[in-house]
Amino acid sequence: MSDAEWQYACKAGTKGYRYDKMDKIAWYQENSNGSAQLVGKLLPNPWGLRIAVTKA
């Protein structure tokens, strides 16, 4: 997958890369208590893709 394809999938038809508040769509230090979390527990993007967040 190219970088452009990844960005297209992340945006999923939205105007930006983040389709909701970060703590609702991605695990990170502050909301994961510093440990691994189960996949699929947070919101998918409008196309149903999960963990499709980029820092761009």
Q: For 12-44, what is each residue's pLDDT tens digit?
A: 888 887 888 988 988 888 888 889 888 889 999
Sign, CA dihedral 6-8-12-15, equals positive
Alpha helices in the chain (DSSP H): 3-11, 22-25, 29-32
Q: What is the pLDDT of residues 9-19, one digit of tens each?
A: 888 888 887 88
pTM of the model as a whole: 0.68
Phi, psi of 40 (to 5 degrees): 90, 5
- Structural tokens at position 36: 């691994």
